[in-house]
Structures are given as C-alpha cells and as structure tokens.
C-alpha cells in the first residue's frame, strides 16, 4: 500500500473528463476560434450529429412535422 492518494473512482474519472470537455467547448465559444469537436477528437461525432435522424416515433423532429 502507498501513502499516496487512492486511485480515483469511476465517477471521479467521468467528472474530470466532463470538466475537460466543458472547458474546451466554453473556451471555443468565448473566443470564437476553432472547432472544439476537432480539438477533442470528435470529428466523427460532429458528422453523425449533422446527419442524425431520430429513430423514436413521435419525437417531434421527424421530416414533415412542424
């Protein structure tokens, strides 16, 4: 056993990742420069979101609905 801090829990790891994600996105929004998804390595996610179609009937975003 070590006297160092214990290994972070899964929740702590998730929170750290979310903090980093939000800091990157907010910095890009504040400065208006670059693309945060590219910096985070999420280009594929960006492309998927641009072409996303809901697969839940009645979600209100189906083509032809207003």
Split at pLDDT 50, 70, 90, the class of 42 is: confident
Rg (CA), the chain: 18
Split at pLDDT 50, 70, 90, the class of 1 is: very low
Cα separations (Å) of 10 from 1, 15, 20? 20, 9, 16
Q: What is the pTM of this model?
A: 0.47
């Amino acid at each position: 056993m070590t006297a160092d801090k214990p290994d972070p829990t899964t929740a702590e790891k998730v929170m750290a990742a979310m903090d980093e994600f939000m800091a990157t996105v907010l910095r890009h929004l504040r400065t208006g420069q670059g693309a945060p998804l590219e910096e985070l390595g999420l280009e594929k996610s960006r492309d998927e979101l641009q072409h996303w179609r809901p697969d839940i009937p009645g979600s209100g975003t189906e083509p032809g609905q207003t």
